Amino acid sequence: MAMTDTDTATPQMEISDEVAIEIRNMNKWYGTFHVLRDIDLTVHRGERIVICGPSGSGKSTLIRCINALEEHQRGSIVVDGTPLSSDLKNIDKIRSEVGMCFQHFNLFPHLTILENCTLAPIWVRKIPKREAEKTAMYFLEKVKIPDQANKYPGQLSGGQQQRVAIARSLCMRPRIMLFDEPTSALDPEMIKEVLDTMIQLAEEGMTMLCVTHEMGFARQVANRVIFMDDGQIVEQNEPEAFFKSPRNERTRLFLSQILGH
Amino acid sequence: MTTLSDPPHADGFRLSLLVRDKRYRSYTFQAIALIALFVFFGWLASNAIRNPVLQQAGIDFGFLADPAGYDINQQPIPYTSQSSHLRASFIGAINTLIVAFLACVTATVFGVFAGVLRLSNNWIVGKLMALYVEMFRNIPVLIWILIIFTISANVLPQPSAFRGDDPEASPILGVAALTNRGFYLPRPYFTNGIGAVPDDVPADGGAPVAQEVASIANWLIVLAVFAASFLAVRGVNAWATKRQNATGRRPSTFWTNLGLWFVPIILTLLILGLRWEVPELRGFNFQGGILARNSLIALWFALSIYTGAFIAENVRAGILAISRGQTEAAAALGLRPGRVMSLVVLPQALRIIIPPLISQYLNITKNTSLAIAVGYMDLTGTLGGITLNQTGRALECVLLLMAFYLVFSLVISAVMNAYNASVALKER
Amino acid sequence: MSDTHAESVAFVRESVIPPAPPPAKEAGAIRWMRENLFATWFNAILTLVALYLIWVLLSGVVPWIVNGTWQGSSLAECREILQGNGGGCFAVLRERWPQLLFGFQYPDYLRWRPVLAFFLLFVAVPPALFVMFLPRWTLIVTAIYPFLAYWLIWGGTILTPLFAALGVVAGYLAFSFTERRGFVLGLAAGVVTALAVWWIGGLLAGEFSRFLRLEAVVSRAMGGFMLNLVLGIVCVSLSLPIGILLALGRQSSLPVVKGFCVVFIEFVRGVPLITLLFVANVVLAFFLPPDANFDLILRVIIMITLFASAYIAEVIRGGLAALPKGQYEAADSLGLDYAQAMRLIILPQALKISIPGIVNVAVGLFKDTTLVSVISMFDLVGMIRGPILASTAWAGIYWELWAAACLMFFVVCYGISQYSQWLERQLQTDHR
Ligand SMILES: Nc1ncnc2c1ncn2[C@@H]1O[C@H](COP(=O)(O)OP(=O)(O)OP(=O)(O)O)[C@@H](O)[C@H]1O
Ligand SMILES: [Mg+2]
């Protein structure tokens, strides 16, 4: 994986004491299948957390619970001081605070790139169209594809589509971004363009929770790496320590598989 | 051939080149195909020329002008048995379109309901709708038509059952009687409109043609008001979008639209003096009102419920085709479920649903020709049925019959292709 | 439990949390009902409406079946036995069963022949339906079946179907021997050989018409559900090859061929089947040689086959269009000519994709065979509407007869569509 020089790019990012996400003792079941077990996680504002773990370990489910795309059955999730409950108002509030990017982009194929980006600001934030379009162009420029604004998603490459998806989330001005394997459906050179966008985002101080297996990205950007297995958080640490001296047997096995081939 | 720049064989043309060479080959094949076609059609034509029946009668469409001499039991426009075969066919065509239109509307309603309900997370409703779909799709429509016809002719009470102080049957809400002859429904008419007939004069007084024209004119006024309401509602919506684009807030248009839909039409109907002629029992039968014969009812209902099962599958497939990722992405952006439906799911699902829906409409139109099995006088019943049998002009009648359906189908398909091209998703 | 501290980031789980059962608010059944039937108030209303509907249906149907009688030889007798207990009079089915199956003209002492043909169907069809599980040679049984079935149902000397089969075999052999010298040549050789064998066969069959002879039955005598099955099976089988040719023709770059195919397909798809049956009934005879006698059934088979082939052509065209363009280019780059490319590479794949669509057409066509009752042929529907309902003994009975007709069609059509879905799943896994 191509990466910019680590020394120069190390972001100077501040982590405040303010708590962005607080998950306490959270459990989730699919039917009788226990997917998430006793998850405890506190994310401070400005933190960049990378979650990794073997397939089926519940990473996506965890991320989706934070955004209320999945319901959890026990424990509590508090996002920006708003507790996640079945109250629709709270869910709305949390969703407009939290942006999310999916593995398969999920752009709306019947709308142009610009319309994709302005849809939610217009209908949820009630922003005038002109203004929403200005914001959209601003973020499209940021992800370096302003010239594609009037094309349709089907006409873009995978990397471009994922960057549009990021821009689309940013247009809602979220305070927290969730990423679920944003690069795993992409070719290597596209991975770089998407990761660069994410790094840029991190440098600007966005709170990020990112499921990814891009370990270079984790080293460079994350201030904490979480390893999940079997629906539980098995180990977490600062990236240096996490990669150099993993302490749990399962973490070591996983890292040796993913790094050492 | 001389335009081709590089002849492969300098030694000139050989016969085998006709098959071997790529350039001549296609011409050879087409020539062969053309000759084969000519031979085949020539053979058909020579048979026809030698046919004794055809030799005697020739091909002649003059019979269309002759008096038809038979009665038609559903006459949307005036007709007597002295009218020409052409007029009889015309009435048949109108009757075809009437039942096709009615069936398309109700089939869509059934289909959308069943398709959406089959997707609901209510287990029992889902299963019930699956049963409906499977049951109706797998049994011939002709059997459904005949079953419903038999039921309405045998199970429903006779008009005389409505008689007496303590009748066996009573009209629904006192206005609509479902009998074994058909459904007697109230007939709307106008007391104040153009060419109005005062309340006390019976509806069949006055010159029939003038009255016909006046009645059509009144209904056209009603239609025009509807169209105006529609345009006004669209205008209001456009205005709301403009306001939303400018200020970000979409003004609520619900009540305005509701008013625009209903107030003008109610006023128009009041001004025109809408009255309902309720069917009344006189002697052994009902008089007045509209009689929807059970042939129409059977055809209409059977086609709707049969085609509804197919439409339900199309609707379900269309909605299922929108991946869960789309709804999730929209929800993650903070859109409420209603908006997710109207802004993200429906615009995509409709593109998938509409083309098969249109071809179901075409199927309905073609299946209305089964009317002949229950005696509904559509085009197949008049032109292809009685006219054909009376005049013996089989070739001409069948040709005209096919031409009607063909033109109708082709026009609709052309419209559909244009629509498909205009909404196709842009891909690389 | 919570040994995560935000300050000291490092955390290692020492013990594995075992999976726990989900928090059970209620017992399984009640919980299931709450989630699946009464999740919201709207859902609850739907459930109640559905339950009411089911109750209405069952309260009508169950007593009708349970109290029904199979005794009696007329409606009046039936009514006497039933004493108005709401039961059905299934005696009509017992008495008229052979008519429903074979029509009223097929000689009763010969009915064993169509019955035998019907049961042989269950031997002949599986090799074609389950190609992937059975050895390929079993397909021979399928190939023999049509000729055998013809002999059983129509009778006559065995030479007729035998030479028909021989013609096909000889034609195929001639084709495969000469094919190497060019597809067109092979085709011509095949057709000529087949025609020659048929011609000789026709002479021989006329000469030795008593050789291994079954009593002949005229086409007019065919009726009942047998007629629907015969029409359905024959027309679908015949329309497949024609449909393939039409689909290829429509895709071809030769304007004459393409034009003809487009006009034919659009014409047939634009008119109702009834009008084509009218053609078979009253028009087609004008265009056939005056001295040849094509009976009604044959004319109907011709028209229904043409009808079906247009629809099948459209399905196959969809399959051809769905193939990636790379397949065509790959075939070209291998140096295959058009016939080879189609036969070896394009068609096998396109047909595979088209199978569900073809089955849909087949089911639709089978249902449409009931339309022949409109031109006064006595298929199942024609039998019920005509001879049975018009008979003095059974006039006024309808639920039982129509229910029987519905059941017969449902079993066949539902069976076929389930098979098609199974096949679709099978083919999907094949691709992976
Ligand atoms: N809707 C669902 N219903 C039932 N089980 C599910 C559902 N979604 C996920 N699961 C199961 O939950 C477990 C965790 O799934 P999840 O998608 O969170 O894994 P993951 O860690 O994201 O894996 P991957 O790296 O492959 O994306 C898996 O075993 C999966 O089979
Ligand atoms: Mg995942």
CB neighbours (10 Å) of residue A70?
A: 17
Residues A250 and A40 sit within 8 Å (Cβ to Cβ): no
> Which residue among B210, B245, B277 closes a domain?
B277
In a domain, B404, yes or no: yes
- Testing ligand 1's pocket by substitution, the residue of A28, A36, A39, A59 carrying the most ligand atoms inside 8 A of its CB is A59
> Which residue among B277, B304, B324 closes a domain?
B277
pLDDT tens digit sequence for C118-174: 888 888 888 877 777 778 788 888 888 888 888 888 888 888 888 888 888 898 888
Mean pLDDT, rounded, of chain B: 84
As a whole number of angstroms, the distance between CA B137 and CA B134 comes to 5
> Does the structure show a pLDDT above 50 at C107?
yes
Confidence tier at B206 by pLDDT (50, 70, 90):
very low
What is the domain range of residue B117? 72-160+292-408
Q: Which of B362, B368, B394, B396 is nearest to B381 (CA)?
A: B368
Residues C212 and C157 sit within 8 Å (Cβ to Cβ): yes
Q: What is the reported pLDDT for B208?
A: 54
On whether both B337 and B394 belong to a single domain, the answer is yes
Q: What is the DSSP string of C5-53?
A: -SSS--EE--SPPPP-----SS-HHHHHHHHHTSSSHHHHHHHHHHHHH
> Does the structure show a pLDDT above 60 at C5?
no
Out of A34, A233, A236, closest to residue C19 by CB: A34
On whether both B270 and B304 belong to a single domain, the answer is no
Q: Are strands A224-229 and A232-237 parallel, antiparallel or unpaired?
A: antiparallel
Q: Which of A223, A239, A216 is nearest to A2 (CA)?
A: A216
**Of the given ranges (B122-136, C4-18, C298-312), which has the lowest mean pLDDT?**
C4-18
Residues A149 and A164 sit within 8 Å (Cβ to Cβ): no
> For ligand 1, is residue A212 a contact (CB within 6 Å)?
no
Residue C132 buriedness (CB in 10 A; 0-12 / 13-18 / 19+): exposed
Amino acid at C149: A
In a domain, B53, yes or no: no
Bridge partners (DSSP) of residue A227 are A52, A235
Bridge partners (DSSP) of residue C11 are A236
C-alpha distance from residue B217 to each of B194, B196, B220 (Å):
7, 11, 5
In a domain, B176, yes or no: no
Q: What is the reported pLDDT for C387?
A: 85
Q: What is the reported pLDDT for B278?
A: 83
Residues B115 and B319 sit within 8 Å (Cβ to Cβ): yes
Mean pLDDT, rounded, of chain C: 84
Residues A52 and A228 sit within 8 Å (Cβ to Cβ): yes
Q: Which atom of ligand 1 is nearest to the CA of A59?
A: 21
Contacts of C127-133 with C-beta under 8 Å, sequence gap 24+, read: C129/C419, C132/C426
- Of the residues A29, A50, A255, the best mutation for testing chain C's interface (the one with the most C CB atoms within 10 Å of its CB) is A29
As a whole number of angstroms, the distance between CA C123 and CA B312 comes to 36
More confident residue, C34 or A152: A152
C-alpha distance from residue C209 to each of A4, A184, C161, C427 (Å):
92, 75, 12, 47
**Of the given ranges (B234-243, C184-193, C301-310), which has the lowest mean pLDDT?**
C184-193
Q: How many Å lie between the centroid of ligand 1 and the Cα of residue C58? A: 42
As a whole number of angstroms, the distance between CA B216 and CA B212 comes to 6
As a whole number of angstroms, the distance between CA C49 and CA C30 comes to 20
Q: What is the reported pLDDT for B303?
A: 95
Residue B406 buriedness (CB in 10 A; 0-12 / 13-18 / 19+): middle
In a domain, B27, yes or no: no
In a domain, B97, yes or no: yes
CB neighbours (10 Å) of residue A241?
A: 13
C-alpha triplet A179, A182, A188: angle, nearest 5°: 150
Confidence tier at B20 by pLDDT (50, 70, 90):
low
Q: What is the reported pLDDT for C4?
A: 41
On whether both B320 and B271 belong to a single domain, the answer is no
On whether both B77 and B115 belong to a single domain, the answer is yes
Give nearest CA residue, ligand 1 atom 26.
Answer: A55
Which uninterrupted H or E stretch holds C100?
Answer: helix C91-102
On whether both B331 and B262 belong to a single domain, the answer is no
A90, HSE (Cβ side, Cα atoms, 13 Å): 13
ipTM score above 0.85: yes
On whether both B307 and B273 belong to a single domain, the answer is no
Q: Which of B140, B142, B145, B126 is nearest to B312 (CA)?
A: B126
In a domain, B349, yes or no: yes
Residue A5 buriedness (CB in 10 A; 0-12 / 13-18 / 19+): exposed
pTM (2 d.p.)? 0.87
Average pLDDT for B317-329: 91
Confidence tier at B17 by pLDDT (50, 70, 90):
low
CB neighbours (10 Å) of residue C43?
A: 19
Residues A24 and A76 sit within 8 Å (Cβ to Cβ): yes
Q: What is the reported pLDDT for B219?
A: 84
On whether both B297 and B266 belong to a single domain, the answer is no
Residues A238 and A223 sit within 8 Å (Cβ to Cβ): yes
Work out the percent of chain B whose per-residue pLDDT is above 90: 36
In a domain, B256, yes or no: yes
Q: What is the reported pLDDT for C97?
A: 87
As a whole number of angstroms, the distance between CA C338 and CA C252 comes to 10
On whether both B221 and B369 belong to a single domain, the answer is no
> Which residue among B232, B251, B277 closes a domain?
B277
> For ligand 1, is residue A59 a contact (CB within 6 Å)?
yes
The first and second tokens of residue B392, run together, are 């013996």
pLDDT tens digit sequence for A78-124: 998 899 887 888 898 999 889 999 999 899 999 999 999 999 999 99
Q: What residues contact residue C369 under an 8 Å CB cut-off, 6+ apart?
A: C227, C228, C231, C232, C235, C304, C379
As a whole number of angstroms, the distance between CA A89 and CA A103 comes to 27
As a whole number of angstroms, the distance between CA B308 and CA B328 comes to 30
In a domain, B14, yes or no: no
- Testing ligand 1's pocket by substitution, the residue of A26, A27, A29, A30 carrying the most ligand atoms inside 8 A of its CB is A30
| Count of domains forming chain B | 2
pLDDT tens digit sequence for B144-182: 999 999 888 888 888 777 777 777 777 777 777 888 888
> For ligand 1, is residue A60 a contact (CB within 6 Å)?
yes
On whether both B203 and B255 belong to a single domain, the answer is yes
Give nearest CA residue, ligand 1 atom 28.
Answer: A56
The first and second tokens of residue B87, run together, are 């007029």
Q: Are strands A232-237 and C11-12 parallel, antiparallel or unpaired?
A: antiparallel
Contact assignment for B248 to A108 by CB distance below 8 Å: no
In degrees to the nearest 10, what's the CA dihedral of A68, A73, A75, A76? 20
Q: What is the mean pLDDT of each run of 10 residues along chain A (261 residues)?
A: 42 73 92 89 92 92 92 90 86 90 92 94 91 94 90 91 93 93 88 91 92 90 91 90 87 84 55
Q: What is the reported pLDDT for C98?
A: 86
Structure-token match 């017969």, residue found = C408
Give nearest CA residue, ligand 1 atom 2.
Answer: A30
On whether both B329 and B263 belong to a single domain, the answer is no
Per CB-CB distance under 8 Å, the chain C contacts of A247 are 12
On whether both B298 and B388 belong to a single domain, the answer is yes
On whether both B227 and B311 belong to a single domain, the answer is no
Contact assignment for C2 to A241 by CB distance below 8 Å: no
Give nearest CA residue, ligand 1 atom 6.
Answer: A30
Give just the sign of the alpha carbon dihedral B10, B16, B22, B27. Answer: positive
Q: What is the reported pLDDT for A32?
A: 83
Strand ranges (DSSP E) for B180-256?
182-185, 187-190
Q: Are strands A82-83 and A74-79 parallel, antiparallel or unpaired?
A: antiparallel
Q: What is the reported pLDDT for C409?
A: 94
**Of the given ranges (B19-28, C166-175, C327-336), which has the lowest mean pLDDT?**
B19-28
Domains in chain C: ranges and CATH: 221-432 (1.10.3720.10)
Residues with CB in 5 Å of ion ligand 2: A 60
As a whole number of angstroms, the distance between CA A101 and CA B299 comes to 53
As a whole number of angstroms, the distance between CA B371 and CA C106 comes to 30
- For the packed helices A129-142 and A158-170, what is the interaxial angle rounded to 10 degrees? 130
Residues C228 and C366 sit within 8 Å (Cβ to Cβ): yes
The first and second tokens of residue A246, run together, are 């993993």
**Of the given ranges (B89-103, B186-200, C352-366), which has the lowest mean pLDDT?**
B186-200
The first and second tokens of residue C293, run together, are 């006698």
Contact assignment for A73 to C2 by CB distance below 8 Å: no
pLDDT tens digit sequence for C158-206: 888 888 888 888 988 888 888 777 777 888 888 898 899 888 888 887 7
- Of the residues C273, C281, C286, C365, the best mutation for testing chain B's interface (the one with the most B CB atoms within 10 Å of its CB) is C286
As a whole number of angstroms, the distance between CA C267 and CA C162 comes to 37
More confident residue, C429 or B32: B32
Q: What is the reported pLDDT for B197?
A: 54
Q: How many residues does chain B have?
A: 428
The CATH number of whichever domain residue B78 belongs to comes to: 1.10.3720.10
As a whole number of angstroms, the distance between CA B304 and CA B306 comes to 6
